[in-house]
Amino acid sequence: VVVKVRRPGIVEQIETDIEALMLLAMMAEKHLPNSDIYDPVGQVRELARTIRRELDLSLEGRTIERFAANFAGDSTVYFPKVYWQFTSKAALTMELIEGLKVSDIEGLTATGLDLNLIAKRGANAFVRMVLQHGFFHGDLHPGNILILPDNVICMLDFGMTGRIDPFLKRYLTDILLAILKRDAEEVISLLWKGRLPTQAE
């Protein structure tokens, strides 16, 4: 297994840092001209919400299981098993996954894995997350993606995720379809207007 442990005292340290950032954001809004364009206080609130969620490792465990459920029956993607009897807010115990980093091109090639198929499966998985599930991995850098035998993609570190509402999903789908049809005018029109479909459409 792999055990992810919350560092002792980190919650108190994070809260102190958030307080300091909020004070700076409030001062910026009060004293810097046009700072409201960037919404400093709102930015700090969003950062605080994200970090506090990441501190609850049991929430990350539930997130892993939600992704696994979303991709149930899809043999091209794999998610580590969570061992709940050894998991809490301060510790997450998962199945140990042994694979090659997606950035290890030489290793992947030497092992006989198919780089084109891996790229296609990775893109397909992300598009499904965004446009089908409306729930996606928010930190997919190479260190969080392992490649298993048979070109199976395994994602790790689910502390940061994103959500997309149905109307934004439809808007993004419209843009993607216009790109696939090579309809440049439609792409430009959608991007320029920033049009979100309404329920009546």
Q: Which residues are catalytic?
A: 139
Q: What share of the chain is helix, strand, coil (3-state, %, to 5)?
A: 55, 15, 30
H/E element, 2: strand 2-5
- Which residues, 6 or more positions from 176, have their beta carbon under 8 angstroms from its beta carbon? 127, 131
Per DSSP, the residues of 69-130 read: HHTTT-TTEE-PPB-GGG-BTTEEEE-----EETT-HHHHHHTT--HHHHHHHHHHHHHIII
